[in-house]
Amino acid sequence: MNKNKSFRAFCRALSLYDHFLLSCHVSPEADSIGSLLAMDSLLRRLGKKTTVICEDPFPQRLEACLSSKRWKMLNELQKPQSYFQALITTDCPTLERIGKVRDIITPDTVIFNIDHHISNQFFGHFNFVRPKASACGEVVFEIFKRMRMTIHKEEAKNLYIAIMTDTGSFKYSNTTVSCHRVAAELISLGIDVDKINDAFYSTYSLSRIHLYSRLLSRVKTTPSGKIAWVGMKRSDLSHSGATYEDAEGFIDFLKYLKEVKVAFFMSEMKPDRQVKVSFRAKGNYDVNKIATYFHGGGHLKASGCVLRGTLHQAEKAILNCLHQQFRLG
Ligand SMILES: [Mn+2]
């Protein structure tokens, strides 16, 4: 496929419509949201009417970084619902990822799909998908460039946050020369990197630290140290006053262990006897395979699934599977 031609068609189609619905995926994170808000801004600068809707609320620490509240939750949408000529999705490999927002589009809605997932299903009438891009934010940056639009400071901030978070602050294996160049250009537009970092990362509550100290004291490893894991009980949350959102990111501590190749974090869920599991890998261990075995999925080095049963049963089943797949002692 001639990519230039397809991009021209993408732009030409964008110019045809006046009112756009923009949506990120359910449980949205900074890449999806930053990309979405930058696209929203681009369209408004082109004189379009836009509505930004998401099924789920944005993470609090991200909301703290954003200057204007340009988005609505699905349940805040006024009835009778507006008719949208076109839909833009960011960071969604499938249309299902926008969740119930699908209910407010019609068969006539023209879909623009902007993404960087290798698994993208090209579900849009127009697709701009760049699997080599570190983040969807990098794809949106390319749209600005190719449309010869200057990037305003707020847009730069949104795109920077998107790339920073999806690359784990330029640490993960998707970190490339190109994403550093894009980040450098965004910084040159005057964004305050230090302030963004503090607003985004220096956000722990004391409850979160207390939760972490409980979990850190219970980290287990196999004799070789190559597998590390911990299980979080619901009582860990009530005793520390923390929330499920506070537990996100704890799994990184397990990855910091020198010998670890595969780490998993188990969390007892609200409906009893369900355990949510996250996996992380270092080196050539495909944890997407492990998650898929348990009917979940994700990426090679980061994946997740939900198991029925107790924490103890989940631990046994996962260790068994890891031993069989990778022969890690
Ligand atoms: Mn992404």
Tens of pLDDT along the chain (329 residues) come to 444 558 899 999 999 999 999 999 998 999 999 999 999 999 999 999 999 999 998 888 888 778 778 888 888 877 656 789 999 999 999 999 999 999 999 999 999 999 998 889 999 999 999 999 999 999 999 999 999 999 999 999 999 999 999 999 999 888 999 999 999 999 999 999 999 999 888 889 999 999 999 999 999 999 999 999 999 999 999 999 999 989 988 999 999 999 999 999 999 997 778 999 999 999 889 998 999 999 988 778 888 999 999 999 999 999 999 999 998 86
Q: Ligand 1 centre from 67 Cα, in Å?
A: 21
Q: DSSP assignment of 215-256, as one string?
A: HHTT-EE-TTS-EEEEEE-HHHHHHHT--HHHHTTTHHHHHT
- Topology of the domain covering 207-326: Diaminopimelate Epimerase; Chain A, domain 1 (3.10.310)
Question: What residue spans in the chain does CATH classification 3.10.310.30 cover?
Answer: 207-326
Question: What residue spans in the chain does CATH classification 3.90.1640.10 cover?
Answer: 3-201
Place of tokens 């119930």: 100
Provide CB contacts within 8 A for 243, sequence distance 6+: 207, 237
Q: Ligand 1 centre from 28 Cα, in Å?
A: 10
Q: Ligand 1 centre from 133 Cα, in Å?
A: 9
Q: Ligand 1 centre from 18 Cα, in Å?
A: 27
CB 257, CB 221: distance < 8 Å: yes
Q: Ligand 1 centre from 33 Cα, in Å?
A: 10
The CATH number for 3-201, chosen from 3.40.50.300, 3.30.930.20, 3.90.1640.10, 3.10.580.10, is: 3.90.1640.10
